[in-house]
Amino acid sequence: MRPSAPQQEKERTVPELRSKAKSVTAIIVIVLFAITFVVQASVVPSESMENTLLVGDYVLADKFEVGDGGPARWLFPYRDIRRGEIVVFHFPLDASQYLVKRVVGVPGDHIRMKDGITYVNGEALKEDYAIHSVGDRDFYRDNFPSQLWAAAMDVRWRTNLLRYVVHGDLVVPEGEYFVLGDNRDRSWDSRYWGFVPRANVVGRPLLVYLSVPESAGPSPDGPDDKLFHSGNLFSHLVQSARWKRMFILVR
């Protein structure tokens, strides 16, 4: 006996639903994989990385190459972090926050700043990206670590800083990184709260995929270097977008 029309329709529908379910599941798995291991979208709310990154730059961070990877690190070709790279990381004082800075010192490096110029292992760095936007003199900020105290320092860093100073240089310990903002006069960075552990590094910014003026972007609360995950903000931001910054590579 031939099956009835409803039965035939049901027999066709069930495999189709299973196929669609498999496709949707595969898409969800791919998206979750990408979010977890490959890229992260964030927006820059502070001027600490100007002129490399501006307030209102939306960046995609590559988590595949330099991210720690956690339990899955054996799956991916993670490499060592290099001096001069920009990285996104969990803020050591509050792991729920993301910050973006440039790596100036890697493990074993001897760091010293004199009159705003950064010296690594006795040689002055050529930092075309670094700017000084204030113009005033701050002995602690510009001559780090000649002075071991500043009002803006984290209390724990104030206590521990001396442990890492050898003959006037800050020595970066194993598994840690010394980071600075490119806008050296307006960055709350390793000078004020210490090193970034390797495990805190999420990835490195690849490109700016959207950029809007500060007045059109989010107004986050909290530390001014905090990065915020981008959400459904595009509809009212596109009209104000800085199109010349779209898809520029972050270096």
Question: Which of the residues are catalytic?
Answer: 48, 101
At 174, the amino acid letter reads E
What's the burial of 225, exposed, middle or buried (CB within 10 Å: 0-12/13-18/19+)? buried
What's the burial of 81, exposed, middle or buried (CB within 10 Å: 0-12/13-18/19+)? buried
Partnered with residue 113 across adjacent β-strands are: 118
If DSSP codes are grouped into helix, strand and coil, which group holds residue 122? coil
Residue 165, CA distances (Å) to 145, 174, 178 in order: 8, 15, 13
Question: What is the phi/psi pair of residue 37, to 5°?
Answer: -120, -20
What's the burial of 216, exposed, middle or buried (CB within 10 Å: 0-12/13-18/19+)? middle
Collect all residues with Cβ–Cβ distance below 8 Å to 97 and sequence separation of at least 6: 90, 91, 222, 223, 226, 227
